[in-house]
Amino acid sequence: MREENTYRFNPHESTRFRIFFGENLKSKIKPSRILLGTAYPNPTSGTTLVPFTLPDHEASYQVKLEVYDQLGRKMNTLTEGSFKPGFYETAWNTVDANVNNGLYIYRLVVSGKSLKDMQSGKIVVKK
């Protein structure tokens, strides 16, 4: 409990819940699949964080995380490049992006030697 002060999970989204404890957990726990997490805080009026994981199946992945408006126009590229397996989190500052109130879609595209995956989520901007 040193890393976080509180924990929450939604049993409707996941029926598996595991607790890990010990020292240097970030170096010991490895993601098992590509997963785009839920942006938080959401709705947001400033900065929102978007988590994603890359499994240990390949040495590196090409990753692109972008935000689109409701009409499909690209608003921002949050991150793009080569990433090693692990846990990641990137921020989207809606004030700096100069976006209006509304619904936005964030999309993660991951490709490796033997796979390609695309996942998306929603962010509500409320200033």
Segments of the chain with pLDDT less than 70: 1-7, 9, 13-15, 17
d(CA 99, CA 69): 9
Give the pLDDT of residue 4. Answer: 61
Long-range contacts of 111-120 (CB under 8 A, 24+ apart): 111/61, 111/62, 112/57, 112/58, 112/60, 112/61, 112/62, 113/58, 114/57, 114/58, 115/34, 115/57, 115/58, 117/34, 119/34, 119/35, 119/36, 120/36
- Residue 113 inside a domain? The answer is yes
Residue-wise pLDDT tens digits, 72-90 = 999 999 999 999 999 999 9
- Residue 16 inside a domain? The answer is no
CATH code for the domain in which residue 98 is found: 2.60.40.3880
- Residue 3 inside a domain? The answer is no
5 is written with which tokens? 């002060």
- Domain holding 118, by residue range, is 30-125
- Residue 8 inside a domain? The answer is no
